[in-house]
């Protein structure tokens, strides 16, 4: 009789859940990186505008208002993206926690499966020894 782990379906489900969480975490990590890149780009553009404004020799009221509007726009966009990044980081941490739990559950089931396999092999070995002993005993009685 071949070895059959009774909790194999549960183990398979845990493994699939773990893979799904890994994929989710990968997507979240990608979103975090993209958001950080956007924040850097917005900040660089804001600094470029400031630098251009400071290098102008003649300042007009229109230029000042235009620069102020641009700066406010970039500040708002940066704040939005930072808020988005904060939410993504929370989601990332929560997904990591869930992934850790699923990995822990899967490892527990793996250890249980290994233990059951060792027990099965031990029992099979005992049965085989018993059978071999019976064969040897019969052979001994038939030959005498």
Q: Give the sign of the dihedral formed by CA 40, CA 41, CA 46, CA 50.
A: positive
Alpha-carbon span 42 to 141, nearest angstrom: 93
Q: Looking at domain 7-109, which of 3.20.20.70, 3.40.50.620, 3.40.1160.10, 1.10.287.1490 is its CATH number? A: 1.10.287.1490
Domains of the chain: which residue ranges? 7-109
pLDDT tens, per residue, the chain with 144 residues: 788 999 999 999 999 999 999 999 999 999 999 999 999 999 999 999 888 877 877 778 888 888 899 999 999 999 999 999 999 999 999 999 999 999 999 999 999 999 999 999 999 999 999 999 999 988 888 886
Contact 35/84 with Cβ under 8 angstroms?
yes
Alpha-carbon span 13 to 106, nearest angstrom: 9
């Amino acid at each position: 009789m071949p070895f059959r782990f009774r909790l194999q379906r549960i183990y398979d489900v845990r493994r699939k859940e773990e893979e799904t969480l890994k994929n989710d975490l990968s997507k979240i990590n990608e979103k975090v990186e993209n958001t950080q890149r956007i924040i850097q780009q917005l900040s660089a553009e804001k600094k470029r505008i400031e630098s251009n404004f400071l290098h102008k020799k003649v300042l007009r009221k229109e230029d000042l208002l235009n620069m102020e509007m641009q700066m406010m726009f970039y500040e708002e966009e940066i704040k939005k993206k930072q808020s988005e990044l904060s939410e993504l980081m929370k989601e990332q941490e929560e997904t990591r926690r869930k992934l850790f739990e699923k990995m822990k559950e899967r490892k527990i089931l793996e250890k249980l499966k290994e233990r059951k396999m060792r027990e099965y092999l031990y029992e099979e070995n005992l049965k085989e020894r018993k059978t071999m002993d019976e064969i040897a005993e019969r052979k001994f009685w038939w030959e005498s």
